[in-house]
Amino acid sequence: SQTIHQWPATLVQPVGSPLSLECTVEGTSNPNLYWYRQAAGRGLQLLFYSVGIGQISSEVPQNLSASRPQDRQFILSSKKLLLSDSGFYLCAWRPRPVTEAFFGQGTRLTVV
């Protein structure tokens, strides 16, 4: 069966520090991968999506970047965090052909 792992679960980082969140999927190949951010009490904002290794599409210009170095690995990064980067970050995957999305447990990031 397929599983998705996302870590860490919680993170407190100072302003200006770098960020690296990792997401891996097991039990499937060539999935579509997504990063979303959810501010407290708000909706899900699509940040990045990827349809293959090295293929990244950015939805919102911001302080973040994403990479997909392997088929089932999706990384969200920042060189210098801002206070406004705080939020709940969710990784998701969808099989091909695209159907429902499966989410990781999320990372709650607080920038202080």
Does 93 interact with other proteins (rule: CB under 8 A)? Answer: no
Does 57 interact with other proteins (rule: CB under 8 A)? Answer: yes
Does 110 interact with other proteins (rule: CB under 8 A)? Answer: no
Residue 41 neighbours by CB under 8 Å, 6+ apart:
none
Amino acid, single-letter form, for residue 8: P
C-alpha to C-alpha distance for 112 and 96, rounded to whole angstroms:
39
Interface stretch with other proteins, choices 10-18, 19-27, 36-44, 78-86 (CB under 8 A): 36-44
Interface stretch with other proteins, choices 20-28, 63-71, 72-80, 94-102 (CB under 8 A): 94-102
Q: How far is the CB of 34 from other proteins (least distance, A)?
A: 6
C-alpha to C-alpha distance for 83 and 74, rounded to whole angstroms:
23
Does 97 interact with other proteins (rule: CB under 8 A)? Answer: no
Is residue 82 within 8 Å of residue 69, measured between CB atoms? Answer: no
